[in-house]
Amino acid sequence: MSIRSLRRSRVAVACSAGAVVLVAAGGTVAVADSLVGTHDLKDGAVTSKKIKDETIRRVDLHPSLAAKIGVPGEQGPMGPQGATGPTGPAGPTGATGATGATGPQGPTGADGAQGATGPTGPRGWPGTQGEEGPTGPTGATGATGAPGGYSFSGDSSAAAPGAGIMVTAACFEGTDPNVQIVALDNQPMTVAGSVRFADGSVHDVFESTSYWNPIYDRNVTTMVILDATVVTETRGSYVVHVVIPPSCAGVGTLIPLGDQT
């Protein structure tokens, strides 16, 4: 639609509006037409300022202009990008995803330090006995041991004829306990030990002589027990054990030690 057509439409509308005003004032349309006519208006005489807002309707416009109202025009060029807006709030945490597949096994790590030794476990059941092994070689002959002891009753002369001493266990005149130790060849000897009596008392002995002959009063003790070591000068050493009971049937043991010649 051209500017001229729009102006003519606006002039027609203005004339119609003027006619309405005249009618409302008591005049006639003829009077209005005689007052202002289309030919009386010059081009550009009716401007936008002279038209009241909302007085022109679609029907007042030229059909070609009315058809373009409400039809969007061509899209203009894109404007410049606006500034970045502020970061929005964090969204809710999403659901946990499915577990991924197991990855390949990594290389074996270095050996760790050795731990402390644990406590000893319970003893196991005994195993079956193995086969007997072969007999080993015969060992060397050991040193000759000391001579064995000699037991006797009364005196030791018959039981130990080769000893360097003779021991007698009896009672003097059949009543008083009497122990005799005699060194053969009349050589010196030492008697060291103890004598126990019936009442439990003990008498220590340590005497150097060649003939030891103690006699104990029966009214004092009825039993004598002698334990002594006898050392001779040249005939060796001996352990002597003598018991004289109340019956006077004395017994004893003579044990040669390892220094016999």
Q: Please answer whether residues 255 and 239 qualify as being in contact, where contact means their C-beta atoms are separated by less than 8 angstroms.
A: yes
* pLDDT in the model for residue 35: 56
Helix (H, G, I), strand (E, B) or coil at 258: coil
**What is the distance between the alpha carbons of residues 93 and 245, in angstroms, rounded to a whole number?**
111
Domains and CATH numbers, the chain: 3-66 (no CATH), 150-256 (2.60.40)
* pLDDT in the model for residue 106: 87
Structure tokens at 161: 């004829």
Work out whether the CA dihedral 35, 38, 43, 48 comes out positive or negative: positive
Q: Report, as ranges of residue numbers, the positions in the chain whose pLDDT lies below 70.
A: 1-41, 44-46, 48, 66, 70-73, 143-147, 259-261
Give the tens place of pLDDT for each residue, 2-25.
444 444 444 444 434 443 433 334
**What is the distance between the alpha carbons of residues 242 and 228, in angstroms, rounded to a whole number?**
9
Nearest to 169 by CA among 234, 216, 229, 203: 216
Q: What is the largest CA-CA distance in the chain?
A: 206
Q: Please answer whether residues 224 and 180 qualify as being in contact, where contact means their C-beta atoms are separated by less than 8 angstroms.
A: no
Nearest to 239 by CA among 192, 201, 205: 192
Nearest to 251 by CA among 224, 216, 231: 224
List of residues 6+ apart from 204 with CB closer than 8 A: 193, 194
**What is the distance between the alpha carbons of residues 135 and 7, in angstroms, rounded to a whole number?**
148
* pLDDT in the model for residue 24: 39
* pLDDT in the model for residue 6: 44
* pLDDT in the model for residue 40: 67
- Residue 1 is classified by DSSP as -
C-alpha distances in Å from residue 61, one per residue of 5, 6, 39, 45: 9, 8, 19, 18
* pLDDT in the model for residue 239: 96
Three-state helix/strand/coil letters over 182-250 = EEHHHCCEEEEEEEEECCCCEEEEEEEECEECCECCCCCCCCEEEEEEEEECCCCEEEEEEEECCCCCC
pTM: 0.45
* pLDDT in the model for residue 44: 66
**What is the distance between the alpha carbons of residues 53 and 252, in angstroms, rounded to a whole number?**
165
Nearest to 214 by CA among 157, 171, 259: 171
Compute φ and ψ for 166, nearest 5 degrees: -130, 135
Instruction: Give ∠ CA 16-21-24 in degrees, rounded to 5.
Output: 125
Tell me the β-bridge partners of 196: 202, 225
